[in-house]
Structure 1
């Protein structure tokens, strides 16, 4: 008789799942690195190698990335609830394989757009799944900390890769050397996801069996057995906390999408060399990534709502500082503040979704929230491109500042505190 090794029963908590959690943090850093390798380089590639003019046309690759990633987020949530988390994670990395090669070999801008469609699928499937897997592992008490660590790894890697790709572009040219980073990231991620990652859906089932309604009755209108249409409506429109989080996430990534396509051009028109422009662009996700190590855990202690409102307000002030004509030092201060405001918002919004959504449909709720959030990439690209073409680069940044202020007002008025009341 052949004896099979016993699979340990799932246990919730960060300490109990430290090894798998650390592995998933590493995988998400590689997901972020895939974005960072191209952020500094592609806007310059558009103008210098392909001779593109018109900001709207240049931003098409950001829009293609954002729309594709948003759609992939939805399928990531639905498929991970139905078939498990690990197969979706692995599929996401398979879509990344051609991306660096397409960017290296691209004979025209259409190849760049196609590569960003594949990158959007990779990001939607892989990043959404690592979010859900970490929420599964840690349980309800440490969601903010878990999301802070997850997002810090992802966007810290965006910053490091942006800085490194900008340096390599300045030293060795725009192609092919900066995009060799992506080949390394993909190979390592496939190894980690395919060989070492473990399925976490059992942890979600464990939490679901132990799930109890809040004593204050605030979630009594939500049930365990919602269908996909009901989950979409609750997350998008009806449930005050979930829908407010979706709006705030959309505006938050609108700022990121706009800065992704616009910032390198804004800094280049001021005469900054590529290396300095890369440093400025890396500063935003660097502060954003490192800040989340603090803000995620902080939301577990002081609550979610006011941290989100304050973060959106800080982004408003930062965008106003960037929009005003400035020097390297002034832009550095503005981008650092923008990163700090985003750090206050990003992991906290994901924690809100984890607080409110039932474990039975949490994967789908996270996916739908990330649909709206990542449509912000496309919205930022379209808004930034059209506004910059009509009124100039600075006007596009002012428009984003106004939208950030509006989102802060909506969250303050509509969202309730979602952090479960502490016992004892």
Structure 2
């Protein structure tokens, strides 16, 4: 066990562990994102329709903040983006807990999403900056593990906190965000690579999104990632399927708990399992596993069977997520990691919005069985897309490793 732990977590730089700790602390107190809908309806007595709009604003803010944060991280540095994002998010969270006017609640929720999104690209870019290429898959896996541990605990604790005093949700969340900022401010140095000359870039780097938006290989990867996450987001319709099979609403808790339990207990075994394989092919296999899990859901009619289907698609999620993160790092030019991370985050933002929306429409117009089979078909298409993109991605990565400019790397990928 000691040898396994050393191979899994050993040899990573101290700065990474400060970032890992910041992730864990941040997620342990992420109460607002978890209980916002319940708070708006049950505590503030807003309508479910209004609550849905506000939650959508939180997601839209996160997407916009991610793009903005990527530009800030590359132009002014990782630390400014992380510090400003966390401190401003703390202020927005606390203000949200004290506000009751519908317009103020909507505005503050949007701002909270923007500020949280502002910090995320810089955070991931810092991990890429300080961790060598050979160890990035391990680092991304460990960070994803921390996210899920923190979320699992927060989801449990938040339920107790909201019963004691709903305002505590926002006070504790704000305190955690300030604690995250303090840890980063004291322990995480600036890691933004030294400025690159115009000659090295091939053109002046204005700090904008032009290079990323011209990168067809990366944009295709981001789109495929968004569609893969769309499959997983379809799981929000599981309660509807359980109800249609005559199973109690309480069955959803233990069924979906399989997802978190598997990730917490098994995620650290993933790097040794997939580390030696091509990232694109790993993602393709993982997405097929996700699709199979949802195809089996169409056959499920008992709690144990539903739990089994969750276990199958969770295995695919566990394989896919760190491979996606590592491939994002491989495809990003050194001087533009923040912006690439910001654009990459749009894939997940799209899935977070479109998954529940489309899932609900398909279930209403047809049936949940049609939804599960549709997700299986989508997963196969996404897997095929990743296999077709494997060679262009490999050529682009090799060109970047050889020191090619972003423009030259784009051309190399399309040869």
Verify same fold: TM over 0.5. Answer: yes
Q: Distance in 2 between matches of 1:166 and 1:263?
A: 21
- 2:183 aligned partner: 192
- The 3 A distance-change label for structure 1 pair 26 and 231 is same
Distance (Å, rounded) in 2 between the aligned partners of 1:375 and 1:257: 10
Give the SS at the match of 1:415.
helix
Render the CA deviation track for 1:123-150: whole Å, top value 9, x for unaligned: 3222222110010001222221222122
1:272 corresponding residue in structure 2: 249
SS at match of 2:249: coil
Q: Residues 212-240 of structure 1, C-alpha deviation per residue, up to 9 Å, x if partnerless?
A: 9xxxxxxxxx96866645422344xx22x
Per-residue Cα deviation, 1:278-330 (whole angstroms, up to 9, x for no partner): 45444424434555433346554222111100111111122234455543323
Q: Structure 1 length as normaliser, TM-score? A: 0.75
Greater RCO, CA 8 A, separation 6+: 1
Greater share of helix: 2
Partners of 2:312 and 2:329 lie apart in 1 by 27
Q: What TM-score, normalized by structure 2, do the two folds share? A: 0.76
Contact conserved, 2:234 with 2:359, CA < 8 A, in 1? yes
- 8 Å Cα contact 2:31/2:173 also seen in 1: no
1:236-251 equivalences in 2 (<5 Å): 238-239=216-217, 242-251=218-227
Cα pair 2:13 2:130 within 8 Å, conserved:
no
Partner secondary structure for residue 97 of structure 1: helix
User: Where does residue 290 of structure 2 map in the other structure?
Assistant: 315
Kept after mapping to 2: 8 A contact 1:28/1:130: no
Tell me how far apart the structure 2 counterparts of residues 280 and 263 of structure 1 sit (CA, whole Å).
Answer: 9
Instruction: Return closer, same or farther for 1:339/1:62 CA change in 2, 3 Å cut-off.
Output: farther
**How many pairs are equivalent?**
383
How far apart are residue 265 of structure 1 and its match?
Answer: 6.5
Moved more, 316-325 or 18-27: 316-325
- When residues 135 and 401 of structure 1 are mapped into structure 2, their CA distance, relative to the original with a 3 A threshold, is same
Is residue 2:64 matched to residue 1:71?
yes
2:11 corresponds to 1:20: no
C-alpha separation between the residues in 2 aligned to 1:265 and 1:51? Answer: 24
Aligned partners of 1:124, 1:382: CA distance in 2, in Å?
22
Unpaired runs of 5+ residues, structure 1, are 1-13, 213-221
The answer as to whether partners of 2:209 and 2:339 remain within 8 angstroms in 1 is no
Number of the residue aligned with 1:215: none
Q: What is the match of residue 410 of structure 1?
A: 385
* Structure 1, 345-354 or 329-338: larger mean CA deviation: 329-338
Per-residue Cα deviation, 1:251-292 (whole angstroms, up to 9, x for no partner): 2333454445x456766884333xx64454444244345554
- For residues 166 and 374 of structure 1, the distance between their equivalents in structure 2, rounded to whole angstroms, comes to 25
* Alpha-carbon offset, residue 250 of structure 1: 0.8
> What are structure 2's unaligned runs of at least 5 residues?
1-8, 402-415
The whole-number CA distance in structure 1 between the counterparts of 2:104 and 2:371 is 27
Q: Determine if contact 2:231/2:378 at 8 Å carries over to the other structure.
A: no
> Following superposition of structure 1 onto structure 2, how do residues 133-282 of structure 1 map, counting pairs within 5 Å?
133-166=126-159, 172=163, 175=166, 181-201=172-192, 204-205=193-194, 228-235=208-215, 238-239=216-217, 242-259=218-235, 262=237, 270-273=247-250, 277-282=252-257
Contact 1:77–1:129, Cα closer than 8 Å, also in 2: yes
Describe the shift of the 1:277–1:90 C-alpha distance in structure 2 as closer, same or farther (beyond 3 A).
farther
